[in-house]
């Protein structure tokens, strides 16, 4: 299901009901996550952040700079794009937000596999990723009874059972 199913037919680029609320919250969460990602990139590339000699040795090619650039492309940029999509009337905003959440989960999984070091960052950002994925799902599928009533009034069809953002 795409965002198009949740758009107001009178104004095709405007979301209806609680969907817009979910998109705004998703924009805020992804925006803060993007800023956090850029901060991490600056710390890694600038050399002000080190994971310790043993952990730094487990990084791909032992490079903090490469790790910083990877963080840039896999977390900071996708979260920035998701923020802009969620806060603007973009047709596939929910799909973009969902994709950014999936990339954050993948980043954490790869980080844990390579580094084999666990910190409070991992459960925190995994929780953020779950929130982002949930917000994308809510924005794509409506918000329960209130969303159903909004769809009924606006003439937008209800989503089918078992659909997922695609």
Can you give the pLDDT at residue 80?
97
Q: What is the pLDDT of residue 42?
A: 95
pLDDT at site 152 = 56
Where do the structural domains in the chain lie, given as residue ranges? 18-144
Q: What pLDDT sits at residue 125?
A: 95
CA atoms of 25 and 56, how far apart (whole Å): 35
Spell out the per-residue pLDDT of the chain, length 166, in tens.
Answer: 444 444 444 444 455 445 778 889 999 999 999 999 999 999 988 888 877 777 777 777 877 888 889 999 999 999 999 999 999 878 888 999 999 999 999 999 998 888 888 889 899 999 999 999 999 998 888 755 555 555 555 554 544 444 445 4
| Core vs surface per residue 90-125: b (16+ CB within 10 A) or e | bebbbbbbbbbbebbbebbeebeeebeeeeeeeeeb
| CA quadruple 25, 27, 33, 39: dihedral sign | negative
Of 142, 159, 161, residue with least CA distance to 19: 142
Q: How many residues does the chain have?
A: 166
What CA–CA distance (Å, rounded) separates 60 from 143? 43
């Amino acid at each position: 299901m795409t965002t198009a199913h949740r758009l107001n037919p009178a104004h095709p680029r405007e979301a209806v009901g609680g969907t817009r609320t979910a998109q705004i919250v998703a924009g805020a969460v992804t925006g803060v996550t993007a800023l956090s990602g850029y901060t991490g990139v600056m710390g890694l590339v600038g050399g002000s952040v080190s994971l310790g000699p043993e952990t730094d040795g487990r990084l791909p090619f032992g490079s903090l700079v490469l790790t910083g650039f990877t963080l840039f492309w896999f977390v900071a940029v996708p979260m920035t794009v998701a923020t802009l999509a969620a806060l603007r009337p973009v047709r596939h905003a929910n799909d973009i937000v969902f994709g950014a959440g999936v990339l954050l989960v993948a980043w954490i999984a790869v980080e844990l596999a390579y580094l084999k070091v666990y910190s409070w960052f991992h459960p925190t950002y995994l929780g953020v990723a779950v929130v982002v994925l949930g917000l994308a799902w809510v924005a794509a599928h409506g918000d329960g009874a209130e969303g159903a009533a909004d769809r009924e009034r606006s003439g937008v069809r209800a989503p089918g059972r078992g659909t997922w953002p695609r």
